[in-house]
Amino acid sequence: MLTAKQHELIRFIQQKLEDTGISPSFEEMKEALDLKSKSGVHRLISALEERGFIRRLPNRARALEVIKLPEDAVTGSNAPAPSPAPAANDSILAAHAAKTVAPSPANDIIEVPLHGRIAAGAPIEAIEGQSSMPVPAALLGPGDHYALEVSGDSMIEAGIFDGDFALVRRADSARDGEIVVALVDNEEATLKYLRKEGPMIRLDPANGAYDPQVYEANRVQVQGKLAGLLRRYH
């Protein structure tokens, strides 16, 4: 049995393949399923892959192949053909696979600027470094991105841990409730949920041990929105 979100995702991937011949980006899947982060997309794709519904084609940034569809998600020409005519369905899947493999991304790995450490607790000075780090292109949507190493534990309930690398899409505004890099008083940066309260800005942690930080709106500048995370396992 698949969950509702798994059903929704595999139908979306299948429709995208039929319409364009290219599997959707993680950003497109996130928006289509109204998820808060791409990590949710990763979990759904992994679950579908483990159950044999899709597979990832190697060495491609955006390449998913639909192996089979759940019975209640299949209609018309996409339905698995019952015996004695399975070849028709096989040819459909083969055609989708061929169209998916055809586009060759310019880069599977993208170098993004690495700008030091950012607090996930109390604000600390944002360090502008000159280094960069390689990031799989599949983790990044459109726009200009940079990376920051997370320091602190105030966002652990959002799945962001000390030592993680936050992948940030540059932006100077954000919707209420989004996780942002906020620059306070032009000198200190922090990673928090953004909340707007009239003339004030509240930066909320995702850890009950920390209190929200409240500032006058003119003291806070949005420097970017969280686009993804990278984690090293030792």
In the CATH scheme, what is the code of domain 4-101? 1.10.10.10
Using alpha carbons, select from 85, 57, 64, 80 the residue that is nearest to residue 9: 64
Q: Report how far residue 151's alpha carbon sits from residue 159's, in angstroms, rounded to the nearest whole number.
A: 13
CB 126 within 8 A of CB 183: yes
Domain 109-230: CATH superfamily, name plus number: Umud Fragment, subunit A (2.10.109.10)
Vertex 22 angle, CA 17 and 27, to 5°: 100
Task: Respond yes or no: is residue 77 known to be catalytic.
Answer: no
Q: Say yes or no to pLDDT of 76 above 60.
A: no
Average pLDDT value for residue range 191-200:
94
Q: Report how far residue 42's alpha carbon sits from residue 67's, in angstroms, rounded to the nearest whole number.
A: 18
Where along the chain do its domains lie?
4-101, 109-230
Please enumerate in sequence order all residues whose Cβ is within 8 A of that of 7, keeping only pairs 6 or more positions apart, or say none: 70, 72, 73
Q: Which of 23, 37, 151, 154 is catalytic?
A: 154
Q: Which of 30, 192, 196, 225 is catalytic?
A: 192
Give tens-digit pLDDT for 54-75: 887 754 555 788 888 877 554 4
Task: Respond yes or no: is residue 132 known to be catalytic.
Answer: no
Place of tokens 């009950």: 208
pTM above 0.75, yes or no: no
Average pLDDT value for residue range 193-219:
94
Q: Which helix (H) or strand (E) holds 100?
A: helix 86-101
Q: Which of 81-90, 112-121, 126-135 has the highest mean pLDDT?
A: 112-121
